[in-house]
Amino acid sequence: MAYTIVIDAGHGGADPGATYQGRQEKDDNLSLALAVGHILEQNGIHVVYTRTTDIYQTPFEKAQISNQENPDFFISFHRNSSEEPNQYSGVETLVYDPSGEKLTMAQNINGSLADLGFKDLGVKARPGLVVLRRTKAPALLVETGFLNTDADNQLYDEKQAEIARAIADAILGTLDQKKAENQAPSSETFYRVQTGLFRVRQNADRLLYELLDKGYPAFLLQEDGFFKVQVGAFRQLSNAILMERRLRRDGYATLITT
């Protein structure tokens, strides 16, 4: 059975969202939401859009659309803004609370966007936001750079296709990991990123706990007299490569294995 994801383009219609030098957040949100949704559909995901045109919906209506579909995830796209132009830069993903599958997906999205040059501002809890509080499915709100920061806009405009691909790959990688964790063992091949090989269990545990504390989906495998610390389980090699890049950026030695 295919996964269902509700894709929400934030704001719309009479609500432009943030504005800067004639640029309106609602337009960027819609173009990115459609691009990400198209890639997901090409990979077998059932995508439901809260809007595909420039219309206004209240946050409660967006949450209601999601709840009617009973999706696996709800993902809302936004651009950030600050009081003064060029005051801040970077991407962040908001969640109701930093736990579970939504946290893993949020970290994967942020990490993929950081690989394109954005500053990773982290995953933050925003329980007061209606689209996070009222949706029954795991919900994320992705802030793809600051609309009133010139450097973020330049990166956003120059790498639109890459941004959509990076977000979609992060979503697909998280879904692959979720499916692998829920399935019984089989002969199917999964790609994993190995970060350590130890003879002493205590040393392996130390690395494992460090990775878990940073939000990585790490686990310990005992095999051939060694303790192996590995991260993720991906059907697609490209998603394992994305995870490897994140780990390397954080200073870990890596090896993709199966």
- Show which residues are catalytic: 143
Of residues 18, 14, 137, the one with CA closest to residue 77: 18
Residue 111 vs residues 56, 128, 152, 184: alpha-carbon distances, Å: 31, 25, 16, 29
Cβ of 113: how many Cβ atoms within 10 Å?
Answer: 26
Contact 222, 233 (CB under 8 A): no
HEC assignment per residue over 35-48: HHHHHHHHCCCEEE
- Tell me the backbone φ, ψ of residue 203, rounded to 5 degrees: -65, -40
- Are 26 and 14 in contact by the 8 Å Cβ rule? The answer is no
191: three-class secondary structure by DSSP? strand
| DSSP H/E element including 216 | none
Query: Which residue type is seen at 67?
Result: N
86: nearest Cα among 43, 35, 145: 145
